[in-house]
């Protein structure tokens, strides 16, 4: 900034209007801003769904370690796919960052908004898990393959049998 | 035929600039130039850099004019742009720039009133300079730019309650600093 030429008080109008008239600067089109807003909304929604999904899987994986989980804590720590909750946290943080871009966010207590968002994500994931959504998904071939993939390293979870899966988890 | 520009609201002028005549943007510059330079000078502490900041602010505002929501207040939007530019400059330079004591203040009252006001503002400048930006910014906007809490909230993107808290803390801070400087 200091290297720039100093602008006299009355020349701001002249300098700016000269750039406008000579088309050195041009207005960005309306669709640019509409598209930007759409991307932010889509990104936020995607990250929110991603967070719920990954938190739900985390809860599901924790449950799949079965009763006496504390006893098998070491085994669980060794085999648990930590990237799943890690990715859930990253998605949530990115979602919060995008939320900050919304106009309304600064009008509220932002810490409360974040707390509400995190609580909602965990609550929805918990409800989905308890409604047995994971077990319903496990009956679908391609989703079961995904679940098997994330649990490849976890000996506590084996999801090979189609009909027996639900019994195994419950 | 063009209507009398001085009778139009900022938002109406912005609509005209976007839809019809780009040259009307000069009216926006005329309306805000002095106020924004004053505001940027309070924040940065250097009138010349403030000029650069305001010029860049007007250019940025023009480029993004179609992104402005005409249902909102234009003055808050343009102040926000200049605020961001000023903060960028402060962050870039980091070390605070020297305060310009010869900065001109335009008064509307009598000569004596104007002198007293100028003296108060000059002294307040010195005290303001020593305040952290988070307090200096809302104080400047409230007392010197005569913005409402709602407008300050829109400019600084902080809740109205935080504006109130910062201003009341700033008053105490300003009092302490000014008393120390006596």
pLDDT in tens, B102-151: 444 444 456 666 666 666 667 777 787 788 888 988 988 998 888 999 99
Q: What is the average pLDDT across B88-101?
A: 65
CATH code, B109-182: 1.10.10.10
**Mean pLDDT value across residues B147-166:** 90
Band of residue A87 on the pLDDT scale cut at 50, 70, 90: confident
- Which residues of chain A does B23 touch, with a Cβ-Cβ cutoff of 8 Å? 17, 20-21
CA–CA dist B87, B50 (Å, integer): 11
B118 or B156, higher pLDDT: B156
Separation between Cα atoms, residue B113 and residue A70, nearest integer Å: 77
pLDDT in tens, A47-64: 888 888 888 888 877 765
Q: Do B93 and A2 touch (CB under 8 A)?
A: yes
CB B43 within 8 A of CB B136: yes
Q: Classify the complex by whether its ipTM is higher than 0.95, answering yes or no.
A: no
pLDDT value at position B105? Answer: 40
pLDDT at B167 over 60: yes
**What residue ranges do the domains of chain B occupy?**
1-98, 109-182
Query: What's the pLDDT at B1?
Result: 56
For the segment B42-53, the average pLDDT, to the nearest whole number, is: 89
Check residue B81 and give its pLDDT. 95
Which residue in A has a C-alpha nearest to residue B85's C-alpha? A1
Q: Which of left, alpha, beta for B147 (phi over 0: left; psi -120 to 50: alpha)?
A: beta
Mean pLDDT of A95-101: 75
Question: What's the pLDDT score for residue A57?
Answer: 80
Closest-CA residue of A relative to B34 is A9
User: So what's the pLDDT on residue A7?
Assistant: 54
Q: Given a cut of 70, is residue A155 above it in pLDDT?
A: no
Q: Comparing C-alpha atoms, which of A53, A45, A54, A48 is closest to residue A93?
A: A48
- Tell whether A35 lies on the interface with B, counting CB pairs under 8 A: no
The Cα A42–Cα B103 span in angstroms is 48
**Residue of B17, B41, B51 for testing the chain A interface, max A β-carbons within 10 Å:** B51
Same fold, B1-98 and B109-182: no
CATH architecture classification, B1-98: Orthogonal Bundle (1.10)
* Chain A nearest CA to B178, separation (Å): 30
Report which of B8, B32, B140, B19 is spatially closest to residue B68, judged by C-alpha positions: B19
CB proximity A26 to B under 8 Å: yes
Domain boundaries of chain A, sorted by first residue: 31-131
pTM flag (> 0.80): no
Q: Looking at the predicted structure, is the pLDDT value of residue A117 above 90?
A: no
Highest mean pLDDT among A15-24, A67-76, A84-93, A133-142: A15-24
What is the overall mean pLDDT for chain B?
A: 83
Residue B88: closest CA among B124, B130, B133, B47? B133
Does the structure show a pLDDT above 60 at A165? no
Does residue B63 contact residue A29 with C-beta atoms inside 8 Å? Answer: no
* B160 chain-A contacts, CB cut-off 8 A: 107
- With a cut of 60, say whether residue A162 has pLDDT above it: no
Q: Do A16 and A74 meet the contact criterion of CB atoms below 8 Å apart?
A: no
Is the pLDDT assigned to residue A113 strictly greater than 90?
no
pLDDT exceeds 80 at position A112 = yes
Half-sphere exposure of A163 (CA within 13 A, CB side): 0
Report the residue from B59, B64, B65 with minimal CB separation from A16. B59
Per-residue pLDDT, averaged over A4-24, amounts to 79
Instruction: Kindly state the percentage of chain B with pLDDT values over 70.
Output: 81
Residue B149 has a pLDDT of 92
Closest CA to B41 of B85, B3, B72: B85
| Nearest beta carbon to residue A33 from set B22, B62, B67 | B67
Residue A170 pLDDT more than 50? no
Q: Is the pLDDT of residue B22 over 80?
A: yes
Higher pLDDT: B159 or B114? It is: B159
pLDDT at A74: 59
In 3D space, the residue among B83, B60, B82, B74 whose CA is nearest the CA of residue B14 turns out to be B74
CA distance A35 to A32: 5
Name the more confident of B160 and A165: B160
């Amino acid at each position: 900034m200091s290297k720039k030429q100093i602008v006299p008080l009355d020349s701001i109008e002249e300098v700016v209007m000269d750039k406008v008239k000579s088309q050195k600067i041009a207005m960005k089109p309306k669709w640019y801003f509409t598209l930007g807003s759409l991307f932010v909304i889509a990104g936020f929604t995607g990250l929110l769904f991603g967070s719920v999904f990954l938190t739900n899987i985390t809860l599901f994986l924790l449950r799949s370690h079965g009763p006496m989980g504390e006893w098998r804590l070491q085994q669980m720590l060794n085999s648990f796919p930590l990237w799943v909750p890690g990715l859930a946290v990253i998605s949530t943080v990115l979602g919060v960052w995008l939320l900050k871009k919304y106009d309304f966010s600064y009008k509220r207590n932002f810490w409360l908004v974040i707390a509400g968002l995190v609580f909602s994500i965990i609550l929805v994931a918990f409800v989905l898990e308890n409604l047995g959504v994971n077990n319903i998904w496990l009956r679908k071939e391609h989703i079961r393959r995904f679940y098997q993939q994330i649990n490849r390293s976890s000996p506590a979870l084996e999801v090979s049998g189609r009909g027996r899966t639900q019994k195994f988890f419950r | 035929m063009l209507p009398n520009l001085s009778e139009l609201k900022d938002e109406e002028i912005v609509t005209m600039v976007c839809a019809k005549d780009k040259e009307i943007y000069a009216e926006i510059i005329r309306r805000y130039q002095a106020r924004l330079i004053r505001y940027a000078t309070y924040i940065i502490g250097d009138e010349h850099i403030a000029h650069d900041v305001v010029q860049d602010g007007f250019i940025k505002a023009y480029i993004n004019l179609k992104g402005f929501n005409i249902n909102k207040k234009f003055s808050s939007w343009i102040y926000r742009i200049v605020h961001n530019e000023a903060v960028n400059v402060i962050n870039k330079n980091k070390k605070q720039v020297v305060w310009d004591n010869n900065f001109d203040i335009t008064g509307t009252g009598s000569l004596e009133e104007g002198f007293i006001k100028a003296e108060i503002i000059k002294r307040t400048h010195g005290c303001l300079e020593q305040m952290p930006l988070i307090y200096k910014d809302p104080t400047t906007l409230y007392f010197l730019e005569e913005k409402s809490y709602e407008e300050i909230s829109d400019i600084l993107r902080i809740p109205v309650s935080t504006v109130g808290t910062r201003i009341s803390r700033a008053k105490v801070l300003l009092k302490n600093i000014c008393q120390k400087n006596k």
